[in-house]
Amino acid sequence: MAIGELKNLSVDDLSKLYQDKKHDMHTLRINAAMGELKDTSQIRKARHDIARILTVLRQRELAADAAQKDK
């Protein structure tokens, strides 16, 4: 998922997507431990997606704090 796509989502959508990705990551780790995961790069991709989501959420949080200070 590209960062541009994430910036267009609402905070609620980002939170839901974050929870979904965390669940997917958990499932991928379990499958990898059991030897059922053929494409191990999926774990890395999920981790990067989670980082992107958290980055966008943090940027919005900082922007809201900055706007609050300007008032």
Query: So where are the chain's domains?
Result: 12-70
pLDDT digits (tens, 9 = 90+) for 9-42: 999 999 999 999 999 999 999 999 999 999 999 9
Residue in the structure block whose two tokens are 């974050």: 18
Q: pLDDT above 90 covers what percent of the chain?
A: 89
How high is the pLDDT of residue 71? Answer: 72
How high is the pLDDT of residue 7? Answer: 93
How high is the pLDDT of residue 65? Answer: 92
Residue ranges in the chain assigned as alpha helix (H): 3-7, 11-33, 41-70
CATH fold of 12-70 reads Helix Hairpins (1.10.287)
Q: pLDDT above 70 covers what percent of the chain?
A: 100
| Contact criterion met (CB below 8 Å) for 25 and 67 | no
